């Protein structure tokens, strides 16, 4: 969520005070946030809204990774209502009262991450989180929550209402893994887990033995003919780009990768490969780290890394440019190995003599 930043909006003096507390809480979790408020309540750390509130929300809504309104929930609901499109694309929207007593998940609780963000803010400012989605209240995991947690795309989002209804009403459901899918099985605790080789077999199992289910596959289904409600979740290719000083110990590389993945809630088992520059082919320390982490390490030439034209790369390092001939390794390597239409879901972090970035792309 942090790659686009979270907008915290307040319209009263007390609200601005609470908004700044929220910003500090999010910053401590590595989530970038900007506080916006009216000019008359502007203090250091607050960006002045140069339009009226409704116009500001309209301009900001689609450009933010999250919208936190420190005000009465009715105000923020009326402002965003005309802008709503789909649970697949709407950003998370959260309401916080001006005293910071309650934090309320209002929109995009699962896929957008509003429920998780609500919990984070509440913990950070000592507030009470208010989450009303049925699966969360009942302690169950919805299909769209599963998709978000495992970084899967949803082929048929129109199925979610029926499948989630079966979940919250104690239906008998299966999660069917097709082929050699890398999914940590402990994340599927609410489902019977089955493994098959084809999408057709997966549908047959759900139709024959279950009330509803999900199918996790690498290949989208051209048509979905099923007697039972089912949601198709498509895996994405996840690549971790690496850079490290020559003498960086293996344990430090491993630790930094794990920290990076935790920042985006990415299970290690979902990583398809690591990627770095080809001068690291003889680095036994890095090879050992990849082996310990359980995925292959792929190498790229400096010329290949120079060819990357992604529009949101971190600033080049003059030292890296001087040493190897390109201004950065980890982001470029992750994007190249991820392949067509890849995007960074974690920009470069630097820790323990190691740099790490994460890219994802659809398989097809």
- CA–centroid distance for 305 within its chain: 25
Residue 241 has pLDDT above 60, yes or no: yes
pLDDT of residue 4: 59
Any residues with CB less than 8 A from the CB of 272 and at least 6 apart, and which?
182, 237, 238, 239, 295
pLDDT of residue 1: 36
Rounded to the nearest 10°, the torsion over CA 80, 85, 86, 91 is -40
Q: How far apart are CA 264 and CA 271, in angstroms?
A: 12
CA-nearest of 27, 41, 36, 12 to 99 is: 12
Please give the structure tokens belonging to residue 283.
Answer: 């680095």
Any residues with CB less than 8 A from the CB of 188 and at least 6 apart, and which?
146, 175
- Average pLDDT over all residues of the chain: 90
Residue 330 has pLDDT above 90, yes or no: yes
Task: Give pTM, 2 decimals.
Answer: 0.70
77-110 pLDDT, tens per residue? 999 999 988 877 888 999 999 999 999 999 887 7
Query: What do you get for the CA distance between the two ends of the chain, in Å?
Result: 24
3-state secondary structure of 311: coil
Start-end of H helices in the chain: 13-28, 53-60, 73-80, 114-125, 134-137, 143-149, 160-168, 199-209, 250-263, 284-293, 302-306, 318-324, 330-338
pLDDT of residue 215: 95
Q: Quick one: pLDDT band at residue 208, thresholds 50, 70, 90?
A: very high
pLDDT of residue 291: 96
Encode burial over 243-266: b for 16+ CB neighbours within 10 A, e otherwise.
bbeeebebebbbebbeebbebbeb
Residue 16 has pLDDT above 60, yes or no: yes
Mean pLDDT check: name the lowest of 55-69, 107-121, 164-178: 107-121
């Amino acid at each position: 969520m942090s790659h686009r930043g979270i907008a915290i909006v307040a319209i009263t003096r007390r609200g601005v005070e609470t908004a700044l507390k929220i910003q500090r809480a999010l910053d401590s979790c590595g989530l970038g946030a900007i506080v916006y408020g009216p000019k008359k309540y502007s203090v250091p750390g607050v960006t002045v809204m140069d339009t009226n509130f409704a116009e500001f929300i309209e301009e900001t809504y689609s450009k933010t990774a999250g919208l936190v309104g420190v005000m009465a929930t009715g105000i923020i609901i009326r402002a965003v209502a005309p802008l709503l499109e789909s649970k697949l694309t709407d950003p998370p929207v959260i309401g916080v009262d001006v005293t910071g007593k309650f934090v309320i998940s209002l929109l995009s609780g699962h896929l957008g991450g509003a429920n998780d963000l609500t919990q984070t803010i509440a913990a950070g400012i000592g507030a009470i989180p208010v989450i009303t989605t049925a699966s969360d209240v009942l302690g169950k995991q919805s299909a769209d929550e599963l998709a978000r947690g495992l970084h899967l795309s949803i082929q048929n989002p129109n199925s979610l209402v029926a499948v989630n209804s079966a979940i919250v009403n104690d239906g008998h459901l299966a999660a069917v893994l097709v082929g050699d899918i890398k999914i940590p099985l402990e994340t599927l605790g609410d489902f019977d887990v089955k493994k098959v080789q084809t999408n057709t077999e997966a549908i047959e199992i759900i139709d024959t033995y279950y009330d509803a289910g999900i199918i996790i596959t690498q290949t989208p289904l051209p048509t979905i003919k099923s007697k039972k409600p089912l949601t198709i979740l498509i895996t994405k290719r996840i690549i971790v780009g690496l850079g490290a000083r020559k003498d960086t110990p293996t344990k430090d590389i491993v630790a930094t990768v794990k920290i990076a993945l935790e920042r985006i809630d990415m299970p290690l088992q979902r990583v398809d490969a690591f990627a770095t520059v080809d001068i690291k082919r003889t680095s036994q320390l890095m090879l050992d780290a990849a082996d310990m982490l359980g995925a292959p390490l792929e190498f790229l030439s400096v010329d290949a890394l120079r060819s990357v034209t992604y529009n949101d790369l971190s600033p080049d390092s003059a030292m890296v440019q001087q040493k190897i001939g390109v201004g950065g390794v980890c982001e470029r390597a992750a994007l190249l190995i991820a392949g067509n239409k890849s995007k960074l879901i974690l920009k470069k972090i630097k820790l323990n003599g190691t740099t790490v970035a994460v890219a994802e792309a659809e398989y097809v």
